[in-house]
């Protein structure tokens, strides 16, 4: 079923430019009807409404004293700002017990130039129904909503689609179509006892509140609702109409209508009245003092002025703008207060300057204290004692280190370990460095820290991580290295980079680079250097997978007149020379043993110590030695290494590793020999042989290293490298 009718939705007025400008009503015009005041530009008779435009004409029904707009709409009130409130009826359709339509009412209007305010809603009340509100005029537009329920909703439920729905209406409409679905309704006759009728209406926002228990029955017998309409003068903006607007006096102003066409008038702030008039009823000054619209704390001090007011204090008093009250003027106290304030601020400034100087001096003393505490004097003494200290080692300031690490931001941490933290730093020239911060509170590492600076200051080799400088002004010392961005060899073999395959060519080249570096340290440096902690975690790889030897904290300089040193045993289990472990005598053959383990890791892809392997094979040396002895070497070599034509090279490399890991240091080759043989293996491609077969007792001697793998509680943590992998002393657990 469809019910059609014209529905009031908008008010639209336009200015007739052929009529006199600023026309005013006659003095004998009717000013009220019942309780409603008739305000110009509206009126009830010719000459009383603006420019005799029928759109502004109202009718007063003298019988019931109702003011009508058009022929059907009762006016509630008129606002100068462009709003008109009217009563508007409800459209409804009622059904009998069989679900047949028994009664319906709709409203039909014929009124041009109307505009519905945005502050209205189109509402449907009823179960299992829908309503459509549409235009059939010059602009096609439809809106509506659907309501459904098969039982009585909660008594104080919201208008959310269960028994009631509502929607906003934004555009002018000149007709309405209200449609229900009687067939669907008839099948649900169980709702008829509490909802015999369906209602549809327009209402001003906030004027209708749904109550299911009452509204579904008979809408509480409400027959009409307030509807808010917009009106304006003409169809031009204030700028377009200029001084031809009908805004009556200098105390009124023009503003563009919110409905999108035409304009309206309003009184300036501090004035009230009808802004469309130019007589005594137009915008007049408000006397705030007599109407109690002021905020003077004492009403007797209020003085009115055009468009406002002011509070006037008597002689000898001043106005407190905060409380709007009068305070006695006291120039003497004001002078004293001002002098006291200036004196206090001056004293405060003096104290602040003294504190700043004291703080600066204290900070300088603290930096000097840290410099000495971190071995600054020892470093200078040892560097000068070497004769030719490395002038490229730069001393960085505390402030420079803090800035380059963004205040030691956690997001800059490259790694952390028991020995300290490594940060990614950005120097003022935008170069990226690695900044190693020693662990707080471990004063025993000061000498190892200085030792690392001392050792690295003597090294200039492409495969050694370059030391750029250090900072001794902080509580814990800092070392600044070149930034190596591709992790450690350990990471590539066992850790986060293990998914990136290292080919046989890569591994052989890396082995040659490490061996060449150690040979340089042992034989070509100005003072021979023993690294003492060679392991895959201390070998960094750059973006080209070039090896960089790092972590010289445990290294030792060997005087020219000595071949070995007696030191506290230090190193990492799995890589530690068993002869050094048993005797405490350190020589270059200790690095040879550690390199042999690194070479075995490169060949097998296995860790130096693995407690998941059988007891006798936990140590990698034992593991490969057993495989070699039992002729199953192919089982322990990394499958990524083996190719169709390189098995002989792999076997020769294994023999090199076996030679390096002999128990007795005298039986091990020199690093220069190891480097030469690996380089020959790399270049000659199987044209040079390593040596004759190993003596039969060799593999048996190697088993002695197994002692290390079963003494996990005999190592201790030593000074760490640029990377955060803890190195181990043999005096505490790893």
Please check the confidence at residue 708 and state whether its pLDDT lies above 60. Answer: no
Name the pLDDT band for 446 (thresholds 50, 70, 90).
low
Comparing 728 with 281, the larger pLDDT belongs to 281
Nearest to 227 by CA among 121, 82, 72, 133: 121
Look at residue 709 in the predicted model and tell me its pLDDT: 30
Look at residue 171 in the predicted model and tell me its pLDDT: 62
What is the C-alpha to C-alpha distance for residues 85 and 63, in angstroms, rounded to an integer? 21
Look at residue 497 in the predicted model and tell me its pLDDT: 76
Which segments of the chain belong to CATH 3.30.200.20? 376-482
Please check the confidence at residue 527 and state whether its pLDDT lies above 50. Answer: yes
Look at residue 583 in the predicted model and tell me its pLDDT: 87
Please check the confidence at residue 367 and state whether its pLDDT lies above 80. Answer: no
What is the C-alpha to C-alpha distance for residues 367 and 93, in angstroms, rounded to an integer? 91
Nearest to 680 by CA among 643, 652, 651, 644: 652
Look at residue 661 in the predicted model and tell me its pLDDT: 94
Asked whether the beta carbons of 233 and 41 are under 8 A apart, the reply is yes
DSSP lists the bridge partners of residue 331 as none
Asked whether the beta carbons of 104 and 97 are under 8 A apart, the reply is no
Look at residue 694 in the predicted model and tell me its pLDDT: 36
Look at residue 19 in the predicted model and tell me its pLDDT: 36
Ranges 11-15, 20-24, 249-253: which has the least confidence: 11-15
- CA separation (Å) from 98 to 183, 195, 219, 339? 11, 13, 21, 95
Percent of the chain with pLDDT over 90: 28
Mean pLDDT value of segment 285-293 = 89
Name the pLDDT band for 496 (thresholds 50, 70, 90).
confident
Mean pLDDT value of segment 611-639 = 88
Asked whether the beta carbons of 601 and 536 are under 8 A apart, the reply is yes
Nearest to 172 by CA among 132, 232, 106, 118: 118
Asked whether the beta carbons of 262 and 232 are under 8 A apart, the reply is yes
Does the model's pTM come out above 0.75? no
CATH homologous superfamily, domain 489-729? Transferase(Phosphotransferase) domain 1 (1.10.510.10)
The dihedral formed by the CA atoms of 51, 52, 55 and 58, expressed in degrees to the nearest 10 = 120
Which pair of tokens denotes residue 521? 């340290």
Asked whether the beta carbons of 149 and 127 are under 8 A apart, the reply is yes
Ranges 269-273, 389-393, 509-513, 590-594: which has the least confidence: 389-393
Comparing 346 with 449, the larger pLDDT belongs to 346
Instruction: Find tokens 């001090």 and name the residue.
Output: 301
Look at residue 20 in the predicted model and tell me its pLDDT: 37
CA atoms within 13 A on the CB side of 320: 9
Ranges 271-275, 492-496, 612-616, 726-730: which has the least confidence: 726-730
Look at residue 333 in the predicted model and tell me its pLDDT: 67
The dihedral formed by the CA atoms of 519, 525, 527 and 530, expressed in degrees to the nearest 10 = -30
CB atoms within 10 A of CB 226: 18
- CA separation (Å) from 559 to 334, 386, 525, 642? 82, 11, 12, 43
Ranges 120-134, 267-281, 543-557, 601-615: which has the least confidence: 543-557
Ranges 23-27, 256-260, 469-473, 494-498: which has the least confidence: 494-498
Ranges 191-200, 414-423, 629-638: which has the least confidence: 414-423
Question: ∠ CA 85-87-93 to the nearest 5 degrees?
Answer: 140
Asked whether the beta carbons of 99 and 185 are under 8 A apart, the reply is yes
Look at residue 261 in the predicted model and tell me its pLDDT: 83
Asked whether the beta carbons of 40 and 25 are under 8 A apart, the reply is yes
Please check the confidence at residue 154 and state whether its pLDDT lies above 80. Answer: yes
- DSSP letters, 411-471, are GGEEEEETTEEEEEEE-TT--EEEEEEEPTT-GGGHHHHHHHHHHHTT---TTBPPEEEEE
Name the pLDDT band for 591 (thresholds 50, 70, 90).
very high
Greatest distance between any 2 Cα atoms in the chain: 136
Q: Which residues are catalytic?
A: 533
CB atoms within 10 A of CB 533: 27
Name the pLDDT band for 695 (thresholds 50, 70, 90).
very low
Which segments of the chain belong to CATH 1.10.510.10? 489-729
Select, from the ranges 98-102, 147-151, 385-389, the one with the highest average predicted confidence (pLDDT). 147-151
Average pLDDT, the chain: 78
Asked whether the beta carbons of 106 and 178 are under 8 A apart, the reply is yes
Name the pLDDT band for 204 (thresholds 50, 70, 90).
very high
Q: % helix / strand / coil in the chain, to the nearest 5?
A: 30, 25, 45
Please check the confidence at residue 632 and state whether its pLDDT lies above 70. Answer: yes
Nearest to 66 by CA among 47, 87, 89: 87
Ranges 315-319, 604-608, 726-730: which has the least confidence: 726-730
Element (H or E) spanning 395, and its range?
Answer: strand 394-395
CATH homologous superfamily, domain 376-482? Phosphorylase Kinase; domain 1 (3.30.200.20)
Name the pLDDT band for 712 (thresholds 50, 70, 90).
very low
Please check the confidence at residue 703 and state whether its pLDDT lies above 70. Answer: no
Phi, psi angle pair for 705, to nearest 5°:
-65, -20
Please check the confidence at residue 303 and state whether its pLDDT lies above 50. Answer: yes
Please check the confidence at residue 707 and state whether its pLDDT lies above 50. Answer: no
Phi, psi angle pair for 95, to nearest 5°:
-125, 145
Look at residue 183 in the predicted model and tell me its pLDDT: 42
Listed in sequence order, the DSSP H helices in 550-604 are 578-583, 588-604
Look at residue 390 in the predicted model and tell me its pLDDT: 47
Look at residue 243 in the predicted model and tell me its pLDDT: 86
DSSP strand pairing (467-471 vs 394-395): parallel
Asked whether the beta carbons of 228 and 83 are under 8 A apart, the reply is yes
SS3 state at 139: coil
Name the pLDDT band for 459 (thresholds 50, 70, 90).
confident
Phi, psi angle pair for 577, to nearest 5°:
-65, 120
Name the pLDDT band for 179 (thresholds 50, 70, 90).
low
Comparing 380 with 385, the larger pLDDT belongs to 380
What is the C-alpha to C-alpha distance for residues 490 and 498, in angstroms, rounded to an integer? 9
């Amino acid at each position: 079923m469809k019910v059609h009718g014209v529905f009031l939705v908008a008010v639209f007025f336009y200015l007739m430019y052929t009529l006199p400008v600023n026309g005013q009503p006659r003095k004998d015009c009717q000013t009220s009807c019942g309780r409603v005041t008739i305000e110009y530009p509206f009126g009830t008779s010719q000459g009383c409404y603006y420019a005799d435009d029928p759109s502004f004409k109202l009718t007063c029904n003298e019988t019931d004293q109702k003011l009508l707009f058009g022929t059907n709409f009762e006016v509630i009130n008129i606002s100068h700002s462009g709003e008109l409130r009217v009563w508007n009826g409800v459209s409804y359709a009622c059904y009998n017990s069989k679900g047949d339509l028994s009664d319906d009412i709709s409203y039909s209007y014929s009124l041009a130039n109307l505009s519905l305010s945005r502050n209205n809603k189109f509402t449907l009340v009823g179960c299992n129904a829908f309503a459509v509100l549409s235009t059939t005029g010059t602009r096609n537009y439809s809106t509506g909503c659907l309501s459904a329920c098969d039982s009585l909703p909660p008594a104080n439920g919201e208008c959310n689609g269960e028994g009631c729905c509502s929607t906003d209406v934004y555009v002018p409409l000149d007709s309405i179509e209200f449609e229900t679905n009687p067939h669907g309704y008839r099948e649900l006759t169980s709702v008829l006892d509490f909802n015999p009728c369906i209602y549809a209406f327009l209402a001003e926002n906030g004027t209708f509140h749904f109550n299911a228990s009452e509204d579904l029955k008979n809408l509480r017998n409400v027959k009409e609702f307030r509807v808010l309409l917009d009106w304006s003068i003409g169809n031009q903006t204030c700028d377009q109409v200029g001084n031809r607007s009908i805004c009556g006096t200098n105390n009124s102003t023009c503003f563009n209508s919110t409905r999108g066409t035409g304009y309206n008038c309003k009184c300036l702030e501090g004035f009230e009245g009808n802004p469309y008039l130019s007589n005594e009823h137009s915008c007049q000054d408000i006397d705030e003092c007599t109407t109690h619209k002021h905020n003077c704390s004492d009403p007797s001090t209020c003085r009115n002025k055009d468009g406002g007011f002011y509070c006037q204090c008597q002689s000898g008093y001043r106005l407190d703008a905060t409380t709007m009250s009068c305070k006695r003027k006291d120039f003497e106290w004001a002078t004293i207060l001002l002098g006291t304030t200036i004196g206090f601020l001056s004293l405060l400034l003096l104290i602040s300057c003294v504190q700043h100087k004291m703080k600066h001096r204290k900070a300088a003393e603290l930096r000097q204290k840290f410099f000495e505490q971190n071995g600054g004097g020892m470093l200078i003494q040892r560097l000068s004692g070497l004769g030719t200290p490395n002038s490229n080692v730069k001393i960085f300031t505390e402030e420079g280190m803090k800035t380059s690490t963004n205040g030691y931001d956690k997001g800059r941490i490259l790694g952390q370990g028991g020995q300290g933290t490594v940060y990614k730093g950005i120097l003022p020239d935008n170069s990226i460095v690695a900044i190693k911060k020693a662990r707080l509170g471990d004063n025993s590492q000061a000498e190892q820290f200085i030792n690392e600076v001392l050792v690295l200051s003597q090294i200039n080799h492409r495969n050694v991580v370059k030391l750029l400088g250090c900072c001794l002004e902080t509580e814990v010392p800092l070392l600044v290295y070149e930034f190596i961005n591709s992790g450690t060899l350990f990471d590539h073999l066992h850790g986060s980079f293990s998914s990136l395959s290292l080919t046989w060519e890569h591994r052989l080249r890396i082995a040659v680079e490490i061996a060449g570096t150690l040979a340089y340290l042992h034989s070509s440096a100005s003072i021979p250097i023993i690294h003492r902690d060679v392991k895959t975690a201390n070998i960094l790889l750059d973006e080209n997978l070039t090896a960089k030897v790092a972590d010289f904290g445990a290294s030792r300089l060997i005087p020219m007149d000595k071949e070995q040193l007696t030191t506290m045993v230090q190193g990492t289990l799995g890589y530690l020379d068993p002869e050094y472990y048993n005797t405490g005598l350190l020589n270059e053959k200790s690095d040879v043993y550690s390199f042999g383990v690194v070479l075995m890791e490169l060949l097998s892809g296995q860790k130096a110590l693995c407690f998941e392997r059988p007891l006798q094979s936990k140590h990698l040396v034992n593991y490969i030695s057993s495989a070699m002895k039992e002729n199953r070497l192919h089982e322990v070599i990394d499958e990524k290494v083996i190719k169709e034509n390189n098995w002989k090279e792999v076997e020769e490399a294994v023999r090199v590793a076996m030679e390096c890991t002999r128990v007795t240091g005298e039986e091990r080759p020199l690093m220069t020999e190891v480097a030469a043989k690996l380089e020959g293996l790399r270049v000659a491609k199987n044209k040079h042989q390593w040596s004759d077969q190993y003596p039969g007792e060799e593999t048996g001697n190697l088993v002695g290293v197994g002692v290390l793998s079963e003494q996990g509680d005999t190592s201790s943590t030593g000074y760490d490298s640029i990377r955060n992998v803890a190195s181990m002393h043999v005096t505490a657990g790893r």
